[in-house]
Amino acid sequence: MNTAATSARSRSPYWALLAIALAIAWGLYASGLAADILRYRKDIGYLTKQHLTLVAISGSAAIVFGVGIGIWLSRPWMARWAESAIQAVNMLTSIPTLGKLALMMSFLGIGPLPAIVGLWIATLLPIIRNTYEGIRIVPAHLTDAARGMGMAPTTVLLRIELPNALFVILAGVRTAMAVNVGTAPIAFLIGGGGLGELIFTGIDLQQQGMMLAGAIPTALLAVAVDFLFGQAQYWLVPRGVNPLRAT
């Protein structure tokens, strides 16, 4: 019974979103804006591809590096420096993402590369933090039992520490990816391309249709990415330590 309640709870936002999306779609159609938006479908296709490239490259690199660095900081031999490193990460996180992009532009010039690097850094930091914290809060008696039973350090990491930290790690990934897709439109401002081009140009030209042609796919992408990582949390985290599947 609890399982049913939980899954209903985890699905209901998507139903609500679907309802809102349908209402908006009807509104657009009724007001004639839909036709206006669809005039840009060629641009939408091209820029969405560019946009997805930014998100996919910066996001996947951030997941790989973020989880890797988080694990590295959590190792016993890093204990002396890990807390200061996390403090530094927290400080960097507090820099607004627009600021990070601007800084990247001053180092790397304009174009897709500084945009990708800027997005990568913005996405990386919360993943490092959650990976480190997730592993750190695995109770010491679990790793003690694991070692006492004859697990080598790598086995302890793979079979005990990571599975027990995975929910927190994926929560970090989910938040970080929300930041990533939310910030990606700004990449346009430093010449990174993407759907931001339609949004910002639409605002400047006071072309509502053009702006929505960028904004709607951006919103849909954000919802899709959140859904994807929500599902990852549900299915990848072992049932015994998964609050979404608690019995």
Partner 1 sequence: MIRLEALTKTYATPKGSVTAVDGVNFEVREGEICVLLGPSGCGKTTTLRMINRLVIPTSGKIYLRGRDTDSVDPVELRRGIGYVIQQIGLFPNMSVAENIGVVPRLLGWDAARRRRRAEELLSLLALPPAEFADRYPSELSGGQAQRIGVARALAVDPPVLLMDEPFAALDPVNREAIQDEFLRMQRKLRKTILFVSHDIDEAVKMADRIAIFHSGRLVQFAAPDEMLAKPADAFVASFVGSDRTLKRLRLIRVREVMASAVDARIDANLPAVSPDDDLRRVAALFLEHGVESLTCVDAAGRALGVVTREAVARRLALEDSQ
Q: Which of 3, 80, 55 is nearest to 184 (CA)?
A: 55
Q: Which of 46, 26, 50, 17 is nearest to 192 (CA)?
A: 50
By CB under 8 A, name the one of 34, 236, 241, 244 that touches partner 1: 241
The residue among 207 and 242 lying less far from partner 1, judged by its C-beta, is 242
User: Counting contacts by CB under 8 A, is residue 64 touching partner 1?
Assistant: no
- Show the CA angle centred on residue 221, arms to residues 179 and 188, nearest 5°: 65
User: Counting contacts by CB under 8 A, is residue 76 touching partner 1?
Assistant: no
CA 102 to CA 44: how far, in whole Å?
Answer: 25
User: Counting contacts by CB under 8 A, is residue 152 touching partner 1?
Assistant: yes
Q: Which of 76, 85, 174, 64 is nearest to 129 (CA)?
A: 85
The residue among 103 and 162 lying less far from partner 1, judged by its C-beta, is 162
The residue among 37 and 165 lying less far from partner 1, judged by its C-beta, is 165
How is 58-101 classified by DSSP, letter by letter? HHHHHHHHHHHHHHHHHSGGGHHHHHHHHHHHHHHHTS-HHHHH
User: Counting contacts by CB under 8 A, is residue 146 touching partner 1?
Assistant: yes
By CB under 8 A, name the one of 10, 53, 155, 207 that touches partner 1: 155
Stretch that binds partner 1, among 107-115, 135-143, 187-195, 197-205 (CB under 8 A): 135-143
CA 221 to CA 227: how far, in whole Å?
Answer: 10
Stretch that binds partner 1, among 19-27, 83-91, 106-114, 159-167 (CB under 8 A): 159-167
Size of the site for partner 1 (CB under 8 A): 23
Residues lying near partner 1 in the complex (CB under 8 A): 139, 141-142, 144-152, 155, 159-160, 163-164, 238-241, 246-247
